Structure 1
Amino acid sequence: MELHYEGLVNLRDLEKIEWLSVRGCENMDDWCMDRISNIFARTLLYLDIRDCPNITHRGLAALVKMSKLKIVYLDDITYTNEYEMTCLMLQQVLPDLDIRIE
């Protein structure tokens, strides 16, 4: 399914979402990650953002707002030095976060 930034607003009333996969959504970008992290800051436990080539380390950094996040799935293809540094920062702020790179 194609999901766009504008469409994410339709998810804001889903207050009990714990798992979200946007895997393979080519329209997902850093702005989308910021919106997702705002909408699900207090509920999301698992996030899969594999195969989303437009999400950079900046979008990944937006996850710092997600206090309950336990697992995030990333691609090893897009894994750069910036991604690595952002992952380290996230794990310092969110010590229970498990970042799975596949």
Structure 2
Amino acid sequence: MNADQLLRHPDLLAMSARYWSEQAQDQRRQLDETRQTTAALTRSMRELRGRMRDLQEQMRRARARADRVILSRPAGRTGSSGPSSRSLPAD
């Protein structure tokens, strides 16, 4: 049997077709897993961005409250012992 006949042998063709079918199936499975992972990561990132926006808004409100408390104090009452006398960390 010469090389050309061997390459066209039905058993070899069937094995080759089965191999490439399995390869394609594996690639489809991997692609599906990648898509699912990407979708999960995208959802997580959206949730994190939303949480970051919420936290930034909370920080903005807290700073605004702190500014109002500081500005509403009489000039001579800088040493009070209340919670508003605590210094806020600098940004």
TM-score range, shorter chain: under 0.3
Question: TM-score when scaled to structure 2?
Answer: 0.20
Question: TM-score when scaled to structure 1?
Answer: 0.19
* Greater fraction helix: 2
